[in-house]
Amino acid sequence: MDPKAFDSIHRKLLCWYDQYQRILPWRAASGERPNPYHVWLSEVMLQQTTVATVKDYFIRFTQRWPTLQDLSQSSLDDIYHQWQGLGYYSRARNLHACALALSELNEIPRNPDELIKLPGIGAYTSASIASIAYDFPIIPVDGNITRVISRLLALKTPLPKLKDLIFDIVSPYQPNRSGDFAQSLMDLGATICTPKTPKCDSCPIAKDCLAYAQNKQNQIPVKAIKSKKPTRYTYAYWDENLSNEIALIKRPDRGLLANLMSLPTSEWVDYEEELPPLTPGQILLDGYVKHVFTHFTLILRCVKQVSHSEYTGTRYPRDSLNNLALPTLITKTLTYYKIIELNR
């Protein structure tokens, strides 16, 4: 894209953004400076999660922890509890670690090269925070921006290599009002240049769009061929004593669901036949819970311990489980098998 064409698109998008920008709880009002804490928190929450889902979580977080200093003084368990339901709990761990690191710096860095050194912040997030919070002249490349630019230039490179190509294309440009320009691209992708049935008649840069000119906007970006997700299997053990106290464990500090409270489970195996045999006093309950992770699907069945258990770990009253920071998989299991009723 030559500089003149870029300048024209830059101008059109900012004019459109000034009139049609989305109102989001983490965005500064027009004419106000962005709150870097809000920008950082929202960008972490938005990693692999939709804007619609994040809104309520963001509001609850900022009501509970209005400032970065407040968040840095919280416990990881408190953050887990507020995070419950957002998934990808490594983000919550990194959020806590990052808050501690930032509290020592006394501010959120302005340069993406410094931001990327912090826990949970990669190339896109560092660019997005720097651009939106501080107007650092860089263009972050997320899914929405990838779609807009790939259609604008009619790029045929399939995902995921497409993102790297677009990053190389936009890197030389240092736009004015960098944060607003980045958010104009994001908003255009979210509301006009959508994955399916884009609203090209309402697009402020439709006349500049090569995919639209070629009537290929529905074929671009070219998707990668997805392989079928494997399925894994596990048992969750429902061990409840006569005092209606249920055995829970804290999962290891590495891997999926790290550091979270959970029903004890068997090893997660690739074939159902590899699940461990039941012992006397155990009953396999009907039904199963299906939970989709990023790279595989998990089938979980519940085993109830009906005889006296020698389990000596931590037990929690049944009616207290709703107050614990439990991963979505375990909450689904507890409600599916009617161990608890979800009240949150």
Cα–Cα distances in Å, from 79 out to 64, 119, 256, 275, 326? 10, 15, 17, 33, 12
| Long-range contact pairs involving 91-98 (C-beta distance under 8 Å, separation at least 24) | 91/44, 91/45, 91/47, 91/120, 93/119, 93/120, 93/258, 93/259, 94/44, 94/119, 94/120, 94/121, 95/41, 95/44, 95/71, 95/120, 98/40, 98/44
- Is 104 an annotated catalytic residue? no
The type of residue at 155 is L
- Rounded to an integer, what distance in angstroms lies between the CA atom of residue 253 and that of residue 80? 13
At 130, give phi and psi (nearest 5°). -60, -40
Phi-psi region of 238 (alpha: psi -120 to 50; beta: other; left: phi over 0): beta
Nearest 5°: the CA angle 22, 27, 29 is: 85
Q: Which two three-digit tokens encode residue 214?
A: 């070629």
Q: Which two three-digit tokens encode residue 158?
A: 């399939």
- Rounded to an integer, what distance in angstroms lies between the CA atom of residue 185 and that of residue 208? 14
Q: Which residues of 47-59 are buried (b: 16+ CB within 10 A; e: fewer)?
A: beeeeeebeebbe
Q: Which of 32, 43, 104, 114 is catalytic?
A: 43
Enumerate the active-site residues: 43
